[in-house]
Amino acid sequence: MNSGDVEAVHNGKVAARMAGRAAARAKWPPEVATIQKGVMQGYRQMKLPRRQFRYFWRSLKGKGFWLTAKDMPVFYGKTIREATIAMVRTLPEDQDCTVMD
């Protein structure tokens, strides 16, 4: 590989990473799409019997919480607990489980 090939591979990886980030940003609703005054963000991890995953949340003060995980849509709730319950109810392996509100 010459330096031109290495640079092309590097540029391809950078372009793919930037495209992935743009797609992730596009998932959030307009209220929390950008981090501005009043918008907070973070992540949590959840361990279920057959699955463990990380989900990311954003909150707009006084409006509610939005959260999402990889390959999942965005879920909304007035509290982070409500949004998490909405997300868990959509998991295919937990359709037959009872979610205690």
pTM score of the predicted model: 0.68
The position carrying tokens 């849509």 is 73
pLDDT digits (tens, 9 = 90+) for 55-68: 999 998 889 999 98
Q: What is the DSSP letter of 34?
A: S
For residue 25, give the nearest of 41, 10, 13 by alpha carbon. Answer: 41
Name the average pLDDT for the chain: 79
Greater confidence (3 vs 38) lies with: 38
What percent of the chain stands above pLDDT 90?
25
Cα(92)–Cα(65) distance, integer angstroms: 23
pLDDT digits (tens, 9 = 90+) for 5-39: 556 556 677 777 777 666 666 788 888 888 888 89
C-alpha torsion angle, residues 87, 90, 93, 97 (rounded to 10): 80
Percent helix, strand, coil in the chain, to 5, is 40, 30, 35
